Structure 1
């Protein structure tokens, strides 16, 4: 039966494929593909885990007091029966053999299938046995975890990137949620798109999806419950629509849209070597946002003139508490700098917090850094200043990478003068250390993120201390409007067109230009073609965005006149409803073209 599930569109395009469900569990489950030759070893791991649980349950039976309720023993017998069901065991092994899932993923996938079968049973007693099944499965998953400590505990992408493992059909991922770090596993993976139950349009998970140019829908609420393993699914990333089990005519329509989209991408790609200059000669710099050094070649291929934002925090995530040291960071930054062939690279110091929690070791236990309100907590520069050794190691690595090319250092979430003073003191101290030690390093420009209203309103202070500023519109909107951008319940209130947001951005650009300091927008607005003309009208001449967005933004710039857009931007700022000005301008353009 065809179903339609609605969510928030976060990454444009169409994906068509069979659903792969990452089932939610009360314990962490690793999801990765194995090499076919390792299938027997994974099946052996599963067999050992089942045997271990069987021994545990038998021991529990023996420990039941003689005067205990008979139902206790009967319940344990039910668990043993479910555990030793060979049909279930064979079906779980089939996921390993046919799909090349690791043992944990195979167990979770089979649990999902069986849980749905129990839900459909008419007999109340049998239907309630689903809870027993889940308890048994979680015992097996815990046993597997004890035997696989060397594996990652949250990756959803393939450990081996061969598309052959997916079989003939393309795959789309369906989950309750996917962390931003897990999203990076999509690079080169078999998944062509994803759907999540939760999430906001400007959460970091959505941002990474856009940077990977993967069609995606988040905040789809019931998607992981309504969609079944292997269902054919269409993800309409433009409309925020997920179509489950589509009829042939709908499937063919979306396949046609896919082909059209590919033709348009190829046409825009031909602009990659053309300079971004308006019709009246205003030169605009188009930079790329990246998460890892391996993204740099793709940025170059898209026509980027440098890296405007290297999100270094992704080097710190999904590491089970083992944070990268100076040498590892240096190699990563150096590789990105070398890959850009002399073009500038702006490295933001680690921005951990909010929807990018950091795993830390506490004693011998792995824990996650969570607070009651992580968006307002110990994140970004606040965390760095609280971890001086790590902060100094990162700054040293950035300075050393600057020996290989043009590097700029960008500090996130600054709000107070004492934070500015403390940060610059660390940077100065590190450079003096490197000079004393005769360690090769280069000169760097130091900039500040403007992503909190306090920073925008204190801009003269920032411009006195820094070489440039970069406006992080994602957080600026969030903090100006008091909206958690990762929460789909309030996502409709997250409004980049809010007059207060636009005024803060326009004032920041104007003041930086007047002071002769560089200013760039590196948030999602930079890559959104709806805002291209407005930002140019504000006086912005440097945009940093996902590489996939550069061709479309460049096309918009090539068709614009900067002088005309100044008056347009002024009208936008004066309006209580800026969208009405935008709609009127679009209507006027259409009439003129006609």
Structure 2
């Protein structure tokens, strides 16, 4: 039966594929693909776990006291029957053979299938046996993870062998989960999935941001998707509308395949702009920079036509490490790799921005677990955490400084809200420089910038500009804190509004104050990569945009078609409007009706 689910559209385009469910479990389960040569070993692991659990259950039954209720041995017998039932173990084996899932993933997948069958039973007694099945599977999972401990979710970069199915050809895969942690999204970047769906999240939650960076369709905040969708269902993700179609009819499938082909043609057309200079119709040069998470992202930034890195999110070097933070030398090698890969173009490295939707396994030396904070978004995060861990912070600062000997490096400080934080950061940087001088390790002087992410920073920006060389506006958090909206919470996602007049006024004010002080200013939040805001940001005076590489061509196309001077003349009209988005739409229509003649040197490009 075909049906639709609705969520938030966070990454445009169409994805079609088989559902791969990451089921919720009381036991953490590793999910990865195995190769052909590992199939028998995984089946052997499953058999060993089954034999171990069977022995446990037999021992429990044997050691029951004489006065134990009669129901207890009967219950253990039920568990033993379930353990050896081909519907569980035999089908799990087939997941391993056919889809090349590891044993834990295969077992979880089959539990999902059987649990749904139990839910559909009319007999109350039989329906309640689902709990017994879950207990048996939990025992099996614990048996498999007993030696090494339970693993976090991970994704193998190697795809499983595809088979010909109902709709023909190879089967692409779509990931369906309750949520995907930012650290796990690093694995997702190298995986085989062509799109993903999550139950929770907002348009600027980190899973959504990474989806846009991958330029793959995604829908978040789809509520019960991971419960309703079944393993191996055919799915269509409409990333433009935020719709998921489950088991589509052949006619609907063909319609979306056509849309897929159209999207691919549009991407190919836009890619031709990557080496075209970014200049507005009235001759204003605009700098298009890239946001990256890891050094390996730098080649993609160059390929997309970025003229530098406007945001290197260093916190991703700290994730998926089981609490062990990277040392100075490891960080230095990572930063140097990115700097060298950019071939002399500037690289702006943000100090570790841990917290809120990006917690570490170990937040401090006393193992403060950030997720236990009452409100992580308002807690010990970003520069606050760095200043609370001076040894770690100096290590990172020294590593960044050392990388500056290999190219143009800039340092960016996240979530600055107080002048004393700014002064403490600069003092820590001065100490790090002195330590490098004493150790005879080379470095260059670097520019230091502050992120404008909280309203307080925007309101005291003139004072901050006296301490910093540049500013970068992080619109994702600026919107969150201005509107008091948790951007990762789908229950309030409809209130997250980048078009809110207060947000636009803070952004415009920050850009104007930085330009007035003669300091460079960029926007590195999601607004920079959204073509809907390009003309408005240009009207505000912004001449430096930083975004995911996949977004550069779309934004460049808008820049090449924009007369920034004409838009600047209408800026106050938009900012004072009760509905800035509608005001911008009206301006688009007006300027389209009376277009400016493109400059000769760029008319061919657009």
| TM-score, L = length of structure 2 | 0.94
For residues 246 and 125 of structure 2, what CA distance do their matches in structure 1 show? 31
Matches within 5 A, 1:341-380: 341-360=343-362, 369-380=371-382
Residue 87 of structure 1: CA displacement? 4.0
Quote the residue 2:477 is aligned against: 475
Gaps of 5+ in 2: 164-169, 597-606
Matches within 5 A, 1:499-578: 499-578=501-580
Aligned partners of 1:496 and 1:502 also within 8 Å: yes
Residue 325 of structure 1: CA displacement? 1.1
Secondary structure of 1:163 counterpart: coil
Residue 139 of structure 1: CA displacement? 1.5
Query: Does residue 441 of structure 2 align to residue 439 of structure 1?
Result: yes
Secondary structure of 1:135 counterpart: helix
Relative distance call for 1:377 and 1:257 in structure 2 (3 A) is same
Query: Does residue 32 of structure 2 align to residue 16 of structure 1?
Result: no
Query: Does residue 198 of structure 2 align to residue 182 of structure 1?
Result: no
Secondary structure of 1:165 counterpart: coil
Quote the residue 1:252 is aligned against: 254
Quote the residue 1:165 is aligned against: 161
Relative distance call for 1:170 and 1:136 in structure 2 (3 A) is same
Quote the residue 2:210 is aligned against: 208
Say which of 216, 219, 223 aligns to 1:217: 219
Task: Choose 436-445 or 18-27, whichever is displaced more.
Answer: 436-445
For residues 388 and 365 of structure 1, what CA distance do their matches in structure 2 show? 16
Relative distance call for 1:30 and 1:407 in structure 2 (3 A) is same
Task: Choose 552-561 or 167-176, whichever is displaced more.
Answer: 167-176
**Aligned-pair Cα RMSD in Å:** 1.8
Say which of 217, 230, 233 aligns to 1:231: 233
Relative distance call for 1:153 and 1:376 in structure 2 (3 A) is same
Residue 585 of structure 1: CA displacement? 1.4
Quote the residue 2:601 is aligned against: none
| TM-score, L = length of structure 1 | 0.96
For residues 586 and 272 of structure 1, what CA distance do their matches in structure 2 show? 24
Residue 482 of structure 1: CA displacement? 0.2
Relative distance call for 1:368 and 1:321 in structure 2 (3 A) is farther
Query: Does residue 328 of structure 2 align to residue 332 of structure 1?
Result: no
Matches within 5 A, 1:280-429: 280-360=282-362, 369-429=371-431
Secondary structure of 1:549 counterpart: helix
Residue 568 of structure 1: CA displacement? 2.2
Aligned partners of 1:14 and 1:235 also within 8 Å: yes
Query: Does residue 120 of structure 2 align to residue 124 of structure 1?
Result: no
Aligned partners of 2:28 and 2:151 also within 8 Å: no
Residue 365 of structure 1: CA displacement? 9.5
* Aligned length in residues: 590
Secondary structure of 2:443 counterpart: coil
Relative distance call for 1:247 and 1:264 in structure 2 (3 A) is same
Query: Does residue 65 of structure 2 align to residue 65 of structure 1?
Result: yes
Aligned partners of 2:355 and 2:370 also within 8 Å: no
For residues 278 and 423 of structure 2, what CA distance do their matches in structure 1 show? 37
Task: Choose 358-367 or 47-56, whichever is displaced more.
Answer: 358-367
Aligned partners of 1:166 and 1:190 also within 8 Å: no
Quote the residue 2:112 is aligned against: 112
Gaps of 5+ in 1: none
Aligned partners of 2:31 and 2:153 also within 8 Å: yes
Quote the residue 1:40 is aligned against: 40
Quote the residue 2:7 is aligned against: 7
What per-residue deviation string (whole Å, max 9, x for no partner) do you get for residues 505-534 of structure 1?
Answer: 111000000101110000000001110000
